[in-house]
Chains A and B, each alone.
Chain A
Amino acid sequence: MMRHFLRLFLIFSLGLCLEARSLVFAPIPFFNANKVLEDFFPMVNYLEHALDENITIHYEKKYDDLIAAFKANQVDIAYFGPLPFLTLQKSFPYALPIITFHESDGKNGYRCALVKFGGDTLVNIPQRELKVALTQPLSTCGYTNTKNLIESSFHLNLDTLLYRYVGTHDEVALSVVRGEFHMGGIKESIAHEYASLGLEIIDTTPLIPGFSLVVNTQTISAEKIAKIKSILLSTPKEVYEKWGKDINYGMSETNTDMFQNLKRDMETMNVPLSGSF
């Protein structure tokens, strides 16, 4: 009885403590902080005004760290790719995706693409020398989908090639353009952005759930979650089209059913946490 009472007291205290601080938003964990902040700031700013509440930005460089911070209740809202979200939800059931951002074609899902520099030819390169750039272990377009694309396009096993995690989709694209890697796995939309630098798409995956805003139900009340969802879903087009490049094509409520296939893949595939060279 006493233990029960103590637990209730702790939950109540924690609730009070969390209510006292401002909302904390975490953007996608990329190395280039300024770029990411630049992309997400308009949306955060809009939310701040609509909620009439200050929002603090919490920045992490890696998904691992972001997931840890989320679980430690240091983050209230975060922008997650589908795979990292599933990784988080696996150990932290309080994470709830509420809004999914559309891709440039208006769909609420995206494709991962296998890319290479148009000036490079892969034909004469020995298999053991092929270098592949990946984003992050927990990234959706990282190890899992790139491995599938290399298998379907070249009948090669990624595990037999040289691969390395370089962080962001942009960094994968640019490192391929720079010739540091022969191929790379990134979001299709980002691959198109770097077409002007000669980046070419070799192959793409089927549609996978889009990037979502995930809220921490332990730190935000249901009323506030509903309010945030309502604000974002009713955001006028002329507003959101000025937001960052990954979030400026509209939004819809997250359909959790779309995560089922990916959830299965994740359970069957063992993702290495570091590169092969």
Chain B
Amino acid sequence: MRKVLLTILSVSITYAVFFSYVHSKMKEERDVLLLNEHKIIETSYKAVTQMYSISIENYFRYAIMQPPILKILNDVVDTNDTHEKALLRGSLYRLLYPFYNDELKRLGIRQFHFHTPQGESFLRFHAPAENGDNLMEVRPSIKKANIEKKFVTGFEGGRIYPGFRYVFPIIQEGKHLGSVEVSLAYENIEFELSKLLSWKDHLLLLKKSVTTDMVFEGHKHHFMPSPLSNDFVIENQKISNITAPSIESELTKKINAILKDHYNIDAKLKEGKNFSIPVLQDDDGYVANFYAVYDLTGTLAAYAVTYSHLDDLVKIQHKYIASLLFGFLTFVLLGIVLYLLIEQSHKTLKEKIFFETIVAKTINGVILLNTKGQITFINNAATTLLGYSLKEVIGKDSHELIHVHPHDTTKEECPILNSMRYQRTYLGEEVFRKKGGEHFTVHLNATPFVQDNNNIGSVIIFRDISTEKEAQKTIEHLAYYDSLTELPNRKLLLDRLSHTIASTKRDPEYCGLLFIDLDNFKFLNDTKGHEYGDMLLKMVAKRLSSTLRLCDTVSRFGGDEFVVLVTKLGEDPYEAKTKLREIGYKLLHAINEPFRLINVDYTCTASIGGTLFHDTNKTINDILKDADIAMYEVKKQHKNEIKIV
């Protein structure tokens, strides 16, 4: 459970990073698109508002600043008579109407307005009957132009239409005659934008403070609440639809409804900054670009908004979803793999710990070899046994360093290397060499590592069996030799006798068996103790051994009985018997020599019975029986004698 949670946590964190990365990439890609869209509206708005600058400046210079006009304006300044002013207003209208109608209207400009030096409206060519209202407080452009006497340009509200103003102060020979303005009404801006942005839908959102809060009562109905915010109005569709195509198109309505319902558009509009909102709905991509328009006081006055299809948004979204989905699947797979790896890693680690524990704690030496026979791993038991340090053996050739071969065995003949070569386990005893050069026998198991039918190395597990070997030798010795006299025991004698009998079938020479029984041995034991008896037996055994030929066998048959097997007595039976007798006497004489038993000189005699055997039908028992009977006859008669039968 912990591992599962750990895996889920790791994958989740990684996926979160991946998600964040993909999201930022998508946003980056989308922002580039939106920026491009935004630049279009920004450029279009600037183009619309700036396109008239040069023409208007020229008009001011060559059409307005003309003597007849200046004379009328001069007369206006000089009179207080209302009737005279009306006539001057009419005259000005009459004089400039052709210019207004032929030049300005042709450019699409409808607002042409003269003001008095006091900032009163003197003549509106677009609404000639409406004049005399003071604009100083509601129109910063007029105030600035008439007080600072500077050309003023920018977006601004108004009594009839908000729009983009070009206001020129009129000064003749230092005399201030008022000002004149040419304005692009918001309708003109929308119209011009529609020409530049013919493939897009657009809308001009006007801030209430520069429209319905400021215009004459009769003009308020030109505006209606905007669908996006109560702080903004748009051109009244019921009025504009009669004379112009609907500004608020179906697309505009659709996107505005989405913006109103799903985005905090009101708050965004209040920020007064340019922004774009990408909209995705029903697998269609749209974008709404808001270009903030500021008035002459630097206050937000309007937003020029474009609405358009933007299919690339859908493509980006699809790519984004595909990436996330692909990423999700990849991370799920990765999670599974990671989980399995962790599982496997834990298992491997556990196995490694098991292996290392086993290898470290085992008394057996463990050596790993590569395919070249070089040592790649060695455990503590092995280094201890061999007397090497780890550094001294790693990478060394095992064949040369530790393996002792009986007859200059080559690598090709080495059983350990061959086990690897032929991909079979080798079990056997080998001799290893210690650091000091000392040899010792090991029992080893060499098992090759095979992967895809290829050798990748071998493991040698070995143990020092020198002690076992010694123990085995001792056991074997005890089994066949008499522990007191070190002479072959009854078993070994019978064995050798059996072999000798068998060999007589091929060898024509006679063999003989002497049965020796010490006389009065029991008395020695009883009187002096077993310690004396045992010493006598040992000394007798020594004398018998030293008297006999190497090819003969003397054995302790039991108690104070010794049996001597004599071979190679010749093919002649008489001679053989003679030889056997001679040997018997030699032995008897050896026994008769005095013994020094601890602190006592002791003279011993023995009764010896012998028999010859050849390639006959005599069995072991027959031979032993014959010799034994012969010995008993001696014992019965006078002891310390020999009888050969």
Contact = CB atoms under 8 A, between A and B. Distances in A.
Interface stretch (A30-38, A82-90, A144-152): A30-38
B61 to A, nearest CB: 24
Contacts of B238: 37, 41, 57
Interface in A37-56: 37-39, 41-42, 45
Contact of B221 (A42, A59, A117, A245): A42
A198 B218 contact: no
Interface in B84-123: 86-91, 93-94, 97, 123
A119 B87 contact: yes
Contact of A118 (B83, B93, B123): B83
> Which 8 A/B pairs are nearest by Cβ-Cβ distance?
A198-B90, A198-B87, A197-B90, A41-B221, A198-B86, A193-B129, A37-B239, A33-B243
B319 interface: no
A117 B97 CA distance: 15
15 contacts: A37-B238, A38-B239, A59-B242, A59-B243, A118-B86, A118-B87, A119-B87, A119-B90, A194-B128, A195-B86, A197-B89, A197-B128, A198-B88, A242-B218, A244-B218
Contact of A34 (B88, B89, B90, B243): B243
Given A174-B93, A197-B128, 7 more contacts: A37-B239, A117-B90, A178-B93, A194-B128, A194-B129, A196-B132, A198-B89
A93 interface: no
A119 B123 CA distance: 17
Interface in B118-145: 123, 128-129, 131-132
Interface of B: 83, 86-91, 93-94, 97, 123, 128-129, 131-132, 217-219, 221-222, 236, 238-239, 242-243
Contacts of B242: 33, 37, 57, 59
Contacts of A34: 239, 243
B94 A178 contact: yes
A106 interface: no
A199 B218 contact: no
B236 A41 contact: yes
Contacts of B93: 174, 177-178, 197
B90 A199 contact: yes
A33 B243 CA distance: 7
Contacts of B217: 242
A245 B221 CA distance: 14
A179 interface: yes
Nearest to B101: A178
A74 B531 CA distance: 157
B219 A38 contact: yes
A136 to B, nearest CB: 19
A223 B222 CA distance: 32
Nearest to B82: A196
A266 to B, nearest CB: 30
Contacts of A57: 238, 242
Interface of A: 33-34, 37-39, 41-42, 45, 57, 59, 117-119, 170, 174, 177-179, 193-199, 242, 244-245
Nearest to B128: A197
Contacts of B221: 38, 41-42, 45
Contact of B129 (A39, A119, A196, A242): A196
Contacts of B90: 117-119, 177, 197-199
Contacts of A170: 129
A198 B153 CA distance: 32
A34 B221 CA distance: 11
A104 to B, nearest CB: 14
B241 to A, nearest CB: 9
Nearest to B92: A197
Contacts of A196: 86, 89, 129, 131-132
Given A170-B129, A196-B129, A245 B218 contact: yes
Contact of A198 (B91, B129, B132, B219): B91
B342 to A, nearest CB: 70
B404 to A, nearest CB: 115
A35 to B, nearest CB: 8
Nearest to A57: B242
B129 to A, nearest CB: 5
Contact of A197 (B86, B218, B222, B239): B86
Among A38, A42, A118, the most chain B Cβ lie within 10 Å of the Cβ of A38
Among A34, A59, A117, A244, the most chain B Cβ lie within 10 Å of the Cβ of A34
Given A38-B221, A42-B221, A198-B91, A177 B128 contact: yes
Nearest to B98: A178
A193 B236 CA distance: 26
A117 B89 CA distance: 11
Contacts of B87: 118-119, 198
Contacts of A194: 128-129
A136 B128 CA distance: 22
A42 B91 CA distance: 34
Nearest to B221: A41
B186 to A, nearest CB: 13
Nearest to A54: B238
A177 B94 contact: yes
A45 B129 CA distance: 25
A195 B83 CA distance: 9
